[in-house]
Chain A
Amino acid sequence: MKTGRAISFASTLVGAVFLSGTALAAPVAISYLTHWSPETVAKLEAAAKDFSAANPDVTITVRAVPFGDLLTTIRSQGSSADGPTISSIYDLWLPELVRDKLVEPAPDANAKEVSSAWPEGVASAASVKGKPYGYPNEIDVYALNYNKKLFAEAGIAAPPATWAEFAADAEKITKKDGNRVTRQGFGMINSWAAGVIHPFSSLLVSNGGTLIANGKPTLDTKAAAETFKLYEDFIKKGYTDPTMGTADANTTGPFLDNFVSGNTGMIIMANWWESALKGGMGDKFANIGTAPIPVGPSGDKARSISYSWLTVVNASATAEQRQAAWKFLSWLNGPTSGKGGASAMSDILLSMGILPSRSSDVAAHGKDLNREFLTGYVKTLADAKAFPVVLGGQEFSEALQQVLEGIQYGRLTAEAAQKNAQADATSILERAAK
């Protein structure tokens, strides 16, 4: 009798272990949503394949949408287990995605990793109320890109360090055929919110101003007035032709075309454009120089703004999917997945000219970060202010975009634009905070 019970117990135990083993090893399919180009998606797919080789029960599919559709896709599909398990997001979107419970807080082990392996500022941009919600990956900072060949032709020895030099250089580079601008000194982008407001914000902080301080908009300051006026002056004097600055859904379009074809002398753009510039210019990419943002009359030193991207996990995915997703993200962003102690993610980012943010990645890629184009950005990063991550941030960005485009197309004066921008921002931030 005892023997029979023992056999029965043993077989039950074996069965239970077998079943739990089966449950753990059940195949899990997860998906990764990004806005990257097909070439970069292929690199991510290769990394996912390496992960699946070591974790045969996890299959990962990568899906890409244009940047303009990324937030909409996350919002429309992210509340379902069938939606993307992992999404790449702009840090400005995080507070609202957390408020709407679309993304899951990082489990303890992953949260500890994020807090310890990333610089404090970067980790905090991936957190809401001190709780990390994803793995930070890229960090972007804005700097002045200039065409060295056009500068040499115009007899300019060095990139502008102040707004006065900035305006003088823009004037020298600008060429007109009658009233038509055939070459603009400085290119301003339009039709893309981040593309419009980030260069403006970089000039604003380099003039000693800020967009938001202590949760309140600060666009009514003298520093902001001078920045709006700078935009108006460049338009009125014809140093900038807004019709040469349109962006398309992939955030490229005529703005990029005009810079790569030598019709624009200077732009203010983030480091991630390196791959687009290389693709558009080929050998002529060597003509592109990077310099700090010129300092305004109210500024004390060259400053810029930065923002980051992170990968988050769908709160509505199944427990198995979420577990696999965090495991994959830890590996993808960890020091064993890439070359020489770098993460696979950092290798992918650097292939696009994007700065990685994990401390061990920055150390492992020291040599890559010293290449001429990126050096200017790395230097700028030390004095960069993080773009404010607040509830209502996207609406705030789009409202500011509209007033800046109003100046670009001569529909608003600098004074009216400043007044509208401050009133809009106050209303948007107050409403979002309720």
Chain B
Amino acid sequence: MLWLALKTLIHEKGRMVITLTGIIFSTVLTLTQVSMYLGMMGNATAVIRHVNADIWVMSKNVQNFDFANPFPEDRINRVRSSADVVWADRLILTWGFLKLAGGGQEQVQIIGFNPDTGVGAPWEMVSGKPADVKGGRYFIIDKTAEKRLGGLTLGTLWELNENRFKLVGLSQGVKSFTTAPVLFMAYNEVHNVLSGLVRQNQTSYIVAKLKDRARMQEVVAGLRNSMKNNDVLTTEEFVNKTVYYWTVQTGMGMGFFLTAILGLIVGGAIVGQTVYANTMEHLREYGTLKALGARNSDIYSVIFSQVAISAVAGFAAGSVIILFLRGGIEKAGVSLYLSPVIFGSIFCVILVTCLLSAFFSIRKVRTLDPVTVFRT
């Protein structure tokens, strides 16, 4: 009956255009919202996921990566003393102001990392090396900040919290949730030059790598026991905590969720309405089919096939639009996380929404009495 579904669908071009418009609208809105949300969550957890550590130690009740509280850095010794730890290192996260050429200033997120080990360093460089920050007032900044900060030329001097620093490298793909530019410098230099931000002997995070990840829970439990004034989390727990904070505690996730649901509802309503109108218009033909020996399931398959064909075509068109707009959206500073899994999942949601929207049509066909075909 796919044959009949396709013929009927193509024959009524006006109705098909309305159906496709509804599905395209749903697809674009849902894909944009989901990919934007995932992009923002990806930014919020980027550093945590790229540090390649298994365990994170932080001040009590830190809610997300961006809002760290300093604590004594010598607690790293307790972490190192565990026989299960391969390495442990410190990481500073703080905020500063970078003066711009025009006289203005921009708030930046500063990550102080150990250039000898590279733990916490930018993971993708456009120019320069992470180790270039070693031994002086040097910094690396992410290329995505160029639009906000102006020309990022290697070797130029910049003023950070009234201290001069030299730009020695450009990273790529490091964005913070708050959209503030992310700046990397040597751990010691934050203490030496920016002591107003993080005092000597204090750190924001201690990260550690384990010999055997299978022993993760035991090691975490042991560290929690010995470091009562800190929170000890696995990388996965810290990612989840950060995502939970931005999604639930700020209410931002609900905003994205509602917009995506609204897209699905509006799209589903348009599809449902056009499919229902189509069914009502063809009721006599469906009754004829029943009189000629078609089962309800034969007619259901026509309606579901029409909906499924529309869903595939509408989703494909919507996806092309998103891919076409992606460059422009990202240029405007909004990260979109799109992957085959995202496309596949959203397609399934769109398809199910469309099939559900055919429910009233199916009910109409189920109760259709073939005797009606004899009425004029």
Pairing of A with B: no
Q: Please list the residues of chain B having a beta carbon within 8 angstroms of any beta carbon in chain A.
A: none
